[in-house]
Every structure is written in C-alpha cells, then in structure tokens.
Chains A and B, each alone.
Chain A
C-alpha cells in the first residue's frame, strides 16, 4: 500500500504529456507498471537498451518518453546511455527501481545496489531519489530537465526485502 504514490506519478506524467512508457519490468516499480498496463500505455521490451533505442526514436519524432527499469538493467545500459542518450542529448526520463539499497537484499543485487548512486554520478546522469513525500517536486524537476533537452533519472528505493 505504501507504494500507491507510483500510481500518482504515472497519472502525473500522463497529464504532463509524456506519451510513451517503455521498459523492462521491475518488482520495485510494480504499481507504476500495473497502472500503465491497465491504461494500455506500457511497452515492454526484451532489454533495457532496446527500450532506450525505441524511446530515442519516439523522442526524435517529437513524442516524449519515459523509460523504466531495474538498476540491474541500468547497469546493463551504461554504454547506450553514454554513446546514445547523452552523446545526442536525447531528453528521456529514466525511472529506476533501486534493488540492493538495503544491505540484506538478494545477493545478486548487493554489489550494483551499493554503487548505484556513484554509477549515476560517474556517468553524469542527473538524478533524484523519489519518495511518497517528495515525488511531485522531483517529477516537476524531471519535466524541467527534459524541456531543457537533458536526460535525467528518478530513482525509487526498494525498502523491503519481501
């Protein structure tokens, strides 16, 4: 229940003319993806990089896009982010579910999870952690970034190990 704000985030971006929601499912982002699927506005791809490619094509066509993924998929996509999204300055909003935020998360997530904020910083992708309390302010920030033709990331932490 505590993740209900994800539904509000989806509806907020829809209202603000984000047309495309593309990505690979992540359990941390389940509510966001579920509401998008209900509204038939979600495109699920085979890999995160594929999602970034499709979103780039749509953005080049004048249609704004958000790409969602788990931080494991973000790590997969680093070369695509630096050699496509940042190189051409493609204004896309990333929504990233952060596994491995809690130190006792599943073992496959701990290593990348631990360095997630540093990874974003190292490649220079601006980001904000969003919560139930601050999501609106940070979503407005993200819209401002893409209006200025800059990609950016919003990160949702995984706060339980269920």
Chain B
C-alpha cells in the first residue's frame, strides 16, 4: 500500500469528518483525492498536525477528529504523544503513515525502521493498531468506530514517488471554510 492508497481508503471509509493533515505530500494527496471543507491542510509548521487535532478534539468532544500524520512529522513533535496521552481525548484518531522517510524532501531516511513510534504512543496512553495491508486497514477502520480514543493507527506504507499537486487554496480560505463547517 502506498501513501495515496492509504489516504484514499481512509477518506472514503470515514466519510465527511474533521481531518487535520500534515504538511508535504500528505496534505497534497488529501487535497487531490477528497478536497472538502472539513479538511484543515497544514501546509507549514511541520510536526504540529497532532497538536492542532488535539486542540480541536478537546473543544469538539462530540465530533471525531482524524489526524493524518507522517513518521517524519510526528518525530518532530514527539512531545505531542505524551500530551495527548495525558489529556486522553476519546474522539482523537491519529494515523501515522510511516514510509520510514522524509518523502516530501527527497526520501531521506527517518529512524522509524528501528524505533517503533507506536510503542512510544502506547506507553503514552494511546490505543494502538498496526496495519500493512489494504484489507486490514478497511477492517480496522470499521472496528474502531465504537472504540474510544485516543487511538493511533500505524500504517506501514511503501515509498512512492507519485506526488499530488500542491494545495492551491489560500490558507485564509482553508481556515475560514473549515471554521464555518465545524462550528
């Protein structure tokens, strides 16, 4: 499974829910596959998708908040895992699309082949799911519908050079559209 396939499966399964997507190829893929007003594309501030998602989850406890994160991204803000684990938002679902690389900058390696990010999340208080195959991903997305969070779904993806177009919306437009939709 590559990154785009994983994003395709998740966004078509969960439907129109609140999504915060990490900068780089992840936001670009989501934009290309399923652009809508419930997506907050974080185009800068690498590492902070999970923190933005946490802030929304705490203030919108009746809605589920999905974070589309990468291994490079979460490694820049590991502290986020302990803050989420401490605050325990039941409505936060955190996907880590792990290709063991900084794909958006040319595929340089991260340490996630040796250090298991999901284990750090587990000791921080997340419920953990691990996925490799498309069929498993679909199954787990159904399974977690009634599970209370915080949930971390670690998806091992292959490297993929196919990149989507840039997010062409203006950031202020992204924000205003998102706020109108969720509030």
On A, residues with C-beta under 8 Å from B are 43, 45-47, 49-50, 52-63, 79-80, 82-84, 87-90
A62 and B45: CB pair below 8 A? Answer: no
18 contacting pairs across A/B (C-beta < 8 A): A45-B83, A46-B82, A47-B79, A49-B51, A50-B51, A52-B45, A53-B45, A53-B50, A54-B58, A56-B51, A58-B58, A60-B55, A60-B175, A61-B55, A62-B59, A80-B48, A83-B45, A84-B45
A49, A57, A84, A89 interface centre (most CB from chain B within 10 Å): A57
Q: What are the residues of chain A within 8 A of B45 when measuring CB–CB?
A: 49, 52-53, 79-80, 83-84
Q: For chain B residues 36-69, which have a beta carbon within 8 Å of chain A?
A: 40, 42-45, 47-60
Given contacts A50-B80, A83-B45, A87-B44, contact A57 B59 (CB under 8 A): yes
Q: How far is the CA of A80 from the CA of B23 in the complex (A)?
A: 12
Min CB distance, A102 to chain B, in Å? 31
Given contacts A55-B55, A60-B55, contact A49 B172 (CB under 8 A): no
B77 and A58: CB pair below 8 A? Answer: no
Given A50-B51, A56-B51, A79-B45, 6 other A-B residues pairs in contact with their CB atoms under 8 A: A53-B54, A54-B52, A57-B59, A58-B58, A88-B171, A89-B171
Min CB distance, B154 to chain A, in Å? 21
Q: How far is the CA of A80 from the CA of B48 in the complex (A)?
A: 9
Q: Please give me the 4 A-B residue pairs with the lowest Cβ-Cβ distance, nearest first.
A: A57-B55, A83-B44, A53-B51, A46-B79
Residue of A nearest to B20 (CB): A57
A49 and B47: CB pair below 8 A? Answer: yes
Q: What are the residues of chain A within 8 A of B20 when measuring CB–CB?
A: 57
Q: How far is the CA of A133 from the CA of B42 in the complex (A)?
A: 40
Min CB distance, A80 to chain B, in Å? 5
B144 contacts A by Cβ under 8 Å: no
Q: For chain B residues 101-126, which have a beta carbon within 8 Å of chain A?
A: none
Q: How far is the CA of A79 from the CA of B178 in the complex (A)?
A: 23
Q: What are the residues of chain B within 8 A of A56 when measuring CB–CB?
A: 48, 51-52, 55
Given contacts A50-B77, A58-B56, contact A87 B171 (CB under 8 A): yes
Q: What are the residues of chain A within 8 A of B183 when measuring CB–CB?
A: 61-62
Given contacts A49-B45, A49-B47, A89-B175, contact A60 B83 (CB under 8 A): no
B182 contacts A by Cβ under 8 Å: yes
